[in-house]
Amino acid sequence: MKIKKDLIILLDEVIENKKYSNLQLKYMFENNSYTKGEKAFLNNMLNVTLKNLIYIDYVILKLARSIKRKTKQILRLSIAQILYTSTDIAGVIYEAVELGKEENIYQANFINSTLRNFIRKKDEIFEITPENIKLSYPTWFYDKVRNQFGEDKFREVLKRYKGKSTFSVRVNHKKISVNDFKDLLKMVDSEILFNISDVYYLNNNNVLKTKAYLTGDIVIQDGSSLLVVDMLAPSNEDEVLDVAAAPGGKSLAILQKYNPKKLVATDIHEHKVNMLKEFESKYMNFKAILADGREFSEGIYDKILLDVPCSGLGVLTKKPEKVYEIDLKVIKAIKKLQKKIFDNTYKLLKNGGEMVYSTCTILENENTNNVAYFLEKYSDLEVVDFEFPQDVKIIKDEFGGNLISYENEYLDGFYMIKFRKK
């Protein structure tokens, strides 16, 4: 029963208190002694509930009103189990009622009657539910994806970002050879599912128990994130700027894989810059600076990585709650911020220098639409082509920008484009 209680706490923190699901789960794991099976159950049920939250809440609204906060989390979790994961419906209801009794007998009886009513009506409710709610997407996002990807593809896109999250690591192959890494995986009973560049998608996270992870020669990173770095590809003679760099995965990849003459990483958040500063003692060519990307003006650079703050709607398999926190008004504000950061950062690029603009969202508002603005405003800006690995499927826009396609089973949804200043 404790595991269910912890799930109720997790759901409340993420849904009501707007905490990041991945960080809350990590905190829960670090502060409790769970078995491997319990960790898997927590992770799975948290993600299943969050990914289907709009439909679950729609169902609850059809069954009851004026529900207490904790009771609502119990109902959310129980309905998620009944719909998506459990065949023991009686067991789910029993445990939900027991959790309700910790509040009072009224809440226990309410939970019991609501869930039994749901069992009777679930097929009827599903039949009358609009498609976007069945898929648990807000209407604005459903419509946006439909308009952007077209009638024949948009459902595939929506279903892709409700899929299972993946686990991947980047390996510093200057320290660990491919064969040594494969031997290490055998020792921890892990297998490679997919590989792109120096990133490996694995069937479990056992590699996090190894010394190589503790020393930073193996780090958690998605393949799309590393492709942004590979697109920039600085030489060891280049001075490089990484704007809005925290938490530092791309900066570390630049240092370990490309070792530029100098790398300056900026971020607006002090606690995040303090994380970046931890690299300074290990890499003499690295400096972290607390700065606003709209105002930073120190230096002129050969290469700039501009992975701007964005809506994050390309990483929904890892952070499913993101889509519930964003709307078109927020997108508009983010787009305005992105333009301001680009306008300021472009001043810091040398003539002949190169800049990669990237986001971890699939929406053209923050991608293609911004690129149109950049190219219209700056006549000395040209697009540089990039050859992606053969295994990576991309959707190329009219300007030469690249969206990591929903057809990729493992990669996050990133957009990236490389510019040169004439």
Q: Go through the domains of the chain in sequence order and give each one's CATH number.
A: 2-133 (1.10.940.10), 167-220 (3.30.70.1170), 223-421 (3.40.50.150)
How far apart, in whole angstroms, are the C-alpha atoms of residue 193 and residue 203? 6
The bridge status of strand 349-359 relative to strand 415-421 is antiparallel
Q: Apex CA 286: angle with CA 284 and CA 288, to 5°?
A: 135
Residues near 267 by beta carbon (within 8 Å), at least 6 away in sequence: 244, 245, 246, 273, 276, 288, 290, 291
Q: Is 288 annotated as belonging to a binding site?
A: no
Residues near 139 by beta carbon (within 8 Å), at least 6 away in sequence: 132
How far apart, in whole angstroms, are the C-alpha atoms of residue 364 and residue 403? 9
Q: What is the pLDDT of residue 162?
A: 93
Q: DSSP label at 382?
A: E
Task: Identify the residue whose tokens are 């129980």.
Answer: 78
Q: What is the pLDDT of residue 103?
A: 85
Task: Identify the residue whose tokens are 């939970």.
Answer: 111
End-to-end CA distance of the chain: 64
Q: What is the pLDDT of residue 175?
A: 96
Q: What is the pLDDT of residue 86?
A: 79
Q: What is the pLDDT of residue 16?
A: 94
Q: What is the pLDDT of residue 31?
A: 92
Q: Is 70 annotated as belonging to a binding site?
A: no
Q: What is the pLDDT of residue 66?
A: 86
Q: What's the predicted TM-score (pTM) here? A: 0.93
DSSP class per residue in 108-132: HHHHHHHHHHHHHHHHHHHHTS-HH
Q: Is 245 annotated as belonging to a binding site?
A: yes
Q: Is 90 annotated as belonging to a binding site?
A: no
Q: Is 372 annotated as belonging to a binding site?
A: no
The closest of 413, 422, 409, 418 to 364, measured between CA atoms, is 413
For the chain, the residue count is 422
Q: DSSP label at 71?
A: H
Q: Is 267 annotated as belonging to a binding site?
A: yes
Catalytic residue, candidates 56, 75, 273, 360? 360
- Based on the residue annotation, tell me whether 360 is a catalytic residue of this protein: yes
Q: Which long-range contacts (CB under 8 A, 24 or more apart) does 162-167 make?
A: 162/51, 162/52, 162/135, 162/136, 162/316, 162/317, 162/320, 163/317, 164/47, 164/317, 165/47, 165/317, 165/318, 166/193, 166/201, 166/222, 166/317, 166/410, 167/201, 167/202, 167/204, 167/205, 167/220
Each residue's pLDDT, cut to its tens digit, for the chain (422 residues) gives 789 999 999 999 999 999 999 899 989 999 999 998 999 999 999 999 999 999 999 999 999 988 999 999 999 999 999 999 978 999 999 999 999 998 889 899 999 999 999 999 999 999 999 999 999 999 999 999 999 999 999 999 999 999 989 999 999 999 999 999 999 999 999 999 999 999 999 999 999 999 999 999 999 999 999 999 999 999 999 999 999 999 999 999 999 999 999 999 999 999 999 999 999 999 999 999 999 999 999 999 999 999 999 999 999 999 999 999 999 999 999 999 999 999 999 999 999 999 999 999 999 999 999 999 999 999 999 999 999 999 999 999 999 999 999 999 999 999 999 999 99
Q: What is the pLDDT of residue 275?
A: 94
Q: Is 121 annotated as belonging to a binding site?
A: no
3-class DSSP string for 185-247: HHHCCCCEEEEECCEEEECCCHHHHCHHHHCCCEEECCHHHHHHHHHHCCCCCCEEEEECCCC
